[in-house]
Amino acid sequence: MTLLARWLPLPLLLSGCVLQGTAEFSANAERESPTRSGQDGRTLYQNNCATCHAPDGRGRPRDQVGFDYPLPDFTDCSYNSREQSPDWVAIAHQGGPIRGFTPIMPAFGDALTTAELSRLVEYIRAFCTDRNWPRGELNFPAAQITEKAFPEDEALIKTAIGSGSTRGAETTFIVEKRLGSHSQLELSIPWLQVDIGPPGHWEQGVGDVAVAFKHVLGHSLDRGYIVSAAAELALPTGDADRGLGSGTSSLETFVAGGFQLPADFFLQTRAIYTMPFDGAAREAALHMAFGNMRTQGPFGRQWNPMVELVGARTLTSGAHAEWDWVPQLQVSINQRQHLLFNVGVRLPLTQRAGRDPQYLAYLLWDWYDGGLLDGW
């Protein structure tokens, strides 16, 4: 979810500003369905939406339509491209409350079929003529470790809790800000709690803050892929003597990819190269996340099971790669689906000596879509 909350009238998205009751729409649908079934998206739009949203998709002025709020501009690609089409269809089919919006948008599932609504939505989305903007269908669920390629406006709180000989916790506050169609800035601030010995002696404080820039290199909705490159600068803001930081700046570069697979499966990958500035050993890493997007009922809660394979190796002679796997589950926790929770566990596969399981969780807030209290 990424665009609905910017425009309160989006619940009018497919109503065509025709505010007849559902019963009247149902009666019309019964009479018209034999001939209407072959209508293309343009015809459906002109017959149902253009009265208020205008033939060009820019929306008619408020003094013409009588609404207190401005209608969305479908030609605005920043607004149009972010959402996945099924969310637009869900609101039109079930009405605004299905995503925590105003009931001014009634349910028209008895008036227009899902196939018709899908054609209508695709026509509306074509009002964005700038193909530089990646479509929301390429915004795959966020994994615990494998960063996605899609640029986003999000905030996350991520927690990792160690066990056994690696006791400790790290809570990272992350803010992501999208820049235009292709780019994103990210700020990460970790808060560490570490057991550095003697037993029971804990230290806590801010770790190494990082700033990152990500840019989309290429994407295609038809081919189902998106690829990005990024650079992240980590600063030695943590106290290394207390076990709260590395003691040096480092530069991490990576290439990330997301790929649509059949049956709502997806694959995300990330290849990483890290270079400390103090001349310490460099490191290479590979992350892969494989998952499935599942909906509870036709328009309900999202359940996204995933598993990650995570490997890293210090680039020194005789070093061995460490591989882990991370089963996890992401679920939407409100109707608007702009608040998501993920829980998982990181389990060592190789080099297990001294490496114990790590328990992971995050709360993701897609803040472009609305406030924390919106959409319940």
User: Per CATH, is 136-369 categorized as 2.40.160.40?
Assistant: yes
Mapping DSSP to helix (H, G, I), strand (E, B) and coil, where does residue 337 land? coil
Banded model confidence at residue 23, pLDDT cuts 50, 70, 90:
very low
pLDDT for 15 equals: 40
pLDDT digits (tens, 9 = 90+) for 246-280: 999 999 999 999 999 999 999 999 999 999 999 89
pLDDT digits (tens, 9 = 90+) for 287-325: 999 999 999 988 889 999 999 999 999 999 999 999 999
pLDDT for 37 equals: 57
191-225 burial by CB neighbour count: b if 16+ within 10 A, else e?
bbbbbeeeeeeeeebebbbbebebebeebebeeeb
Cβ neighbours of residue 226 closer than 8 Å, sequence gap 6 or more: 134, 138, 149, 150, 216, 218, 219, 220, 257, 258
Q: Which runs of E-coded beta strand occur in the chain?
A: 154-162, 168-179, 183-195, 202-206, 210-220, 225-234, 250-260, 265-276, 283-292, 294-295, 302-314, 322-332, 339-348, 358-365
- State the Cα–Cα distance between residues 263 and 343, nearest whole angstrom: 23
Residue 9 has pLDDT above 80, yes or no: no
Mapping DSSP to helix (H, G, I), strand (E, B) and coil, where does residue 285 land? strand
pTM of the model: 0.85
> Where exactly are the structural domains of the chain?
4-125, 136-369
pLDDT digits (tens, 9 = 90+) for 110-129: 778 888 889 988 999 999 99
Could you report how far apart the first and last alpha carbons of the chain are, in Å? 14
pLDDT digits (tens, 9 = 90+) for 333-365: 998 899 999 999 999 999 888 889 999 999 999
| Residue the block writes with tokens 């995050």 | 362
Fold of 4-125: Cytochrome Bc1 Complex; Chain D, domain 2 (1.10.760)
